[in-house]
Structure 1
Amino acid sequence: MNQRIRNCAAAAGLLFTAMTASAANYTAMLTGPKEAPPNSSTGMGAAFVKFDAASHVLEVDVAFGGLLGTTTAAHIHCCTDTPNTGTAGIATETPTFGGFPLGVTSGAYSNTYNTSLAASWNPAFLSSHGGTTAGAESAFAAGLASGAAYLNIHSSLYPTGEIRGFLTGAAPPVPEPASFAMLGLGVPAMLLVARRRRKA
């Protein structure tokens, strides 16, 4: 009986490892100079994205501050022709992430999406990838993995985007202390929450 329990535990452990291995984490530092075209916004933000196409889970965590305009929309764009440069259409839900704080210059956002639902995607992104959520998930995963997806925050002053950052699997560069302090406790709190969430 003990051997059977050990075998079941081992099988459960392998399944959990396989499920966890399919999830990928991405981060980005969002700034005005990273926009296309670049702008002189003093705003900045941090984004943490976890995507698991096997379990259809997309987690999005964002903290931002110091925007010159007030927020009008935020979403992930995918996929640019060249990694870490250019522009692309919106991949995630439109006109903005559901529940994203609008009309503000600073804030934080956290949400989890079921990517097997069409509502989690921009209809145009779905259509251009076979019209299915599976096609959208595949293209999105490839875009994230290749550095061809970015998170963009649009504002009243910069309708095409005030701050953005390409999502990467590597840790983003740490901003200068003076710039980082501009966000107050928002980004450090988001870093702590995201790190704890990723370890869980």
Structure 2
Amino acid sequence: MSASLAAHAAMDDNSQTHWYLVRTKTGKERWVRDQLAHVVPEVFLPMLKAKAPRWGRMAVSIGALFPCYVFARFDLQSQYFDVKYMAGVRAIVSAGNDPLAVPAAIVSEIRRRGVDDVIEIPDKPFGTGERVVVVDGPFRGFEAIFQRYLAGAERVAILLSAVESGGLRVVLSASAVVKDS
């Protein structure tokens, strides 16, 4: 076994290693992840795959889930300066002068939610023109036609079918409507 692999194996067994959040320079998350991988036992850069408007069309993009941050597991006593003063690193997230350890359960939960460290945002559940039913609020029980999302996926615009003149536009919380079955 090479010396660096032996050192990493020894560190993996060392209970002194903890997860820390490393703040990077803007846009340097991947570069810092790759550099840290040569120095510390484990590095985690959770990525987000989502559709975003680009040049008037929806395109799939993959970027850092937490821009400017990388998780790194290392021994603070022996590797603090290697990490803190690495090119591309701004700081180790701290309370005052004391770096804050991130609970391993948080890192595990983020990893659990993704595939190959990529978390995907599912498509919005309603499509334009789709029939929906209002399940909450003053219009409960009304059938409607979904028009569009407003302010992300939190609010929606619908056309109430009960109005004879082609529909009354109503803005509701997205949680107040469900697909008509």
Larger relative helix fraction: 1
Larger relative strand fraction: 2
* Higher-Rg member (1/2): 2
Output the TM-score relative to the length of structure 1.
0.20
Q: Which has the higher contact order (CA 8 A, sep 6+)?
A: 1
